[in-house]
Amino acid sequence: MEAINFVKYQASGNDFVLIDNRFKEYSFTEEQIQKICHRHFGIGSDGLILLENSKEADFLMKFFNPDGSSDMMCGNGGRSIVAFAKSLSIIDKETSFIAPDGLHTAQIISQEENHSLVKLSLRDVSEISLFDDGQYLNTGTSHFVKEVDDVSQINIKEEGSAIRYDKRFEKFKGTNANFIQVVNNGELRIRTYERGVEDETLSCGTGITASAIAYAEKYKLNQSPITIQSKGGELKVFFEKTAQNTYSNIFLQGSVGKVFDGVINL
């Protein structure tokens, strides 16, 4: 395979390698994806994203975790590919695109040089499962949300992986694990252990969205946005509660920045 041009973006500290694949030049094996995402032997990222053509929308998003797994939505990756599409002049300030879980819309609220503020729609939530130790829901990929007194005291590798591989979630191929701390009314802190990364990430878009909705459901809150502080920065989640355990018009808003571009030869 010849040299491949790529761009690296970060969305609130969640970083991704993005490749323009509109001409279907590239197809990667799991081993190649793992190499690209490896932080010592590759570029280093929380995922690989391919931008491809779509007959149904402005473009198609293909997302791969660092272990090569796919078929799941990534909220911060979705915000990153919107900024990438803008840089390629595929879109202007508003867009619709196809992701692994279906159609999404997005808006670039503001842009200054390599930094953008992007608001992304996410799928409706129609079911929240309640457990003694937390809540389970799907915001494009599966998430477990657990409230704790102090997120800084969590052993994220140990406690996160225990939830990720819990037998309760085997039929979903495991789950992501989110630990939230209530700071003020409508304001949370969060830490997330991501499936596929198999470690903590600085920010997880679908996890932040799931946590905001789980929090709103638990405390019977109807107002939005919910402000969530991750290690990578602040994000806001907007939603409308339409019935018990049911949320629609869900949007995730936060910053996106281009880190650098380059060439890799596999």
Angle between helices 205-218 and 75-87 (to 10 degrees): 130
* Residue 74 appears among annotated catalytic residues: yes
Catalytic choice (36, 122, 204, 216): 204
Catalytic choice (49, 60, 73, 74): 74
| C-alpha to C-alpha distance for 20 and 26, rounded to whole angstroms | 9
| C-alpha to C-alpha distance for 156 and 4, rounded to whole angstroms | 35
**Contact (Cβ atoms closer than 8 angstroms) between residue 231 and residue 202:** yes
b/e per residue 198-233 (b: at least 16 CB within 10 A): bebbbbbbbbbbbbbbbbbbbeebeebebbbbbbbb
Pair of tokens at residue 266? 């596999």
* Residue 37 appears among annotated catalytic residues: no
Enzyme catalytic residues: 74, 204
